[in-house]
Amino acid sequence: MGGGGTLEGLLAACAIRAGGGGRLARLAPQSPAERAAVEAAGLQPRQVLTGPDLVRSQAVYFVVTGITDTSVLKAVSFDAARAHTNSLILRGETRTQRLIAASHLLPANA
């Protein structure tokens, strides 16, 4: 479907695993040094990896806070004294999904 860096792939794998989903991924080293690092880790560069290959434990949490509006989370908003945020927390062991709306008091001199 698309390419991304290791960090993006791992974050997505954690979110999917915590939410009870599955995914397939394949490493795509971009340089000889990256290829050597993949092989040193005992992986094959074109090997298909599953969700449990990427995130071995169900003891995984994924937390995200909306910065801009999305279909799931509202953007950060401000009023005279507070910042308002919306966050989603996924817990893999129990498949719990929490939506949190928080109000943060801003410093008086900010």
Q: Residue 52 pLDDT more than 70? A: yes
Q: Please tell me the total count of domains within the chain.
A: 2
Range of the domain at 73: 61-105
pLDDT of residue 100: 97
Residues 59 and 1: their CA atoms lie apart, in Å, by: 27
Q: Please indicate, yes or no, whether residues 68 and 30 belong to a single structural domain of this protein.
A: no
Residues 100 and 86: their CA atoms lie apart, in Å, by: 6
CA distances from 45 to 6, 49, 63, 75, 85 (A): 13, 10, 30, 38, 40
Which is more confident, 105 or 26? 105
Residues 15 and 55: their CA atoms lie apart, in Å, by: 10
- Per-residue pLDDT tens over the stretch 53-87: 888 888 999 999 999 999 999 999 999 899 999 99
Q: Please indicate, yes or no, whether residues 74 and 97 belong to a single structural domain of this protein.
A: yes
- Per-residue pLDDT tens over the stretch 3-47: 667 778 888 888 888 888 888 888 888 899 988 998 998 888 888
Q: Please indicate, yes or no, whether residues 66 and 46 belong to a single structural domain of this protein.
A: no
Q: Please indicate, yes or no, whether residues 50 and 74 belong to a single structural domain of this protein.
A: no
Q: Please indicate, yes or no, whether residues 27 and 65 belong to a single structural domain of this protein.
A: no
pTM listed for this prediction? 0.74
In a domain, 12, yes or no: yes
Q: Please indicate, yes or no, whether residues 65 and 50 belong to a single structural domain of this protein.
A: no
96 Rama class: left (phi>0) / alpha (psi -120 to 50) / beta: beta
